[in-house]
Homo-oligomer: A and B are copies of this chain.
Amino acid sequence: MARRSDHSRDEIKEMAIAAAEKIVTEQGYAGLSARKVAAEIGYTVGTLYLVFENLNDLVLQVNGITLDALYDEMQQTSEGCKDPTSCILALGRAYIQYAVNHKNRWGMIYEHLLPEGQQIPKWYSDKVARNLSLVEMALEKVPVRCPQKEIMVAARSLWGGVHGICILAMTNKLDITGIDSVQALANTLINHFMSGFMKQHT
């Protein structure tokens, strides 16, 4: 049992986040609870509420870290590719690969819902926007002038699409089997979308 002043507020926070990451990775979002996190770090439940607003707060912190890891994977993949379509294909491949390799971590990002009416904090939407910007940057490589507004709409539209395919696949709702089929579906969506997008902008 950890005793008082063994750790600073910030240390407890870090320990709790690390513990939550571990529990989610092993047992999924459904397996995560405040009591389990507390037990894992050797404090009692009450202590968590000195350091986090509530469990939502802790979950958002973990999801933020996951978004960063996903960004790194995607960023690395898209480096150095020249034409927009192959860039987007690479981003899609990296996204799905991450979802498959870190099923429970990725899953918590979309399984977690804020209570009705509660706003997503700005630091979190900023992370989402940063990930989307990779798609926007790839779309901007299309060799025609295209208003920024349209790039943003296209990026959200396309990325929502890849995300949706990934969700349906991960939750077994598409009668498809194996990662190759998911990739194939995403590639189909991306290829057709890009074909139409580039045709409109030439």
Contact = CB atoms under 8 A, between A and B. Distances in A.
Interface of A: 28, 30, 110-111, 113, 115-116, 119-120, 125, 128-129, 153-154, 156-158, 160-169, 171-176, 184-186, 188-189, 191-197, 199-200
A92 B119 CA distance: 27
Grouping DSSP codes into helix (H, G, I), strand (E, B) and loop, the A interface class, with mixed when no group exceeds half, is: helix
A31 to B, nearest CB: 9
Nearest to A175: B125
Contacts of A160: 161, 164-169, 174, 185, 189
Contacts of A167: 110, 160, 163-164, 167
26 contacts: A110-B167, A120-B172, A120-B173, A125-B175, A128-B173, A153-B184, A153-B185, A154-B188, A154-B192, A156-B174, A156-B176, A157-B188, A157-B192, A158-B189, A160-B168, A160-B185, A161-B161, A161-B162, A163-B164, A164-B165, A191-B196, A192-B193, A192-B200, A193-B193, A195-B195, A195-B199
CB-CB nearest 6 A-B residue pairs:
A164-B164, A161-B161, A192-B196, A195-B196, A160-B165, A163-B164
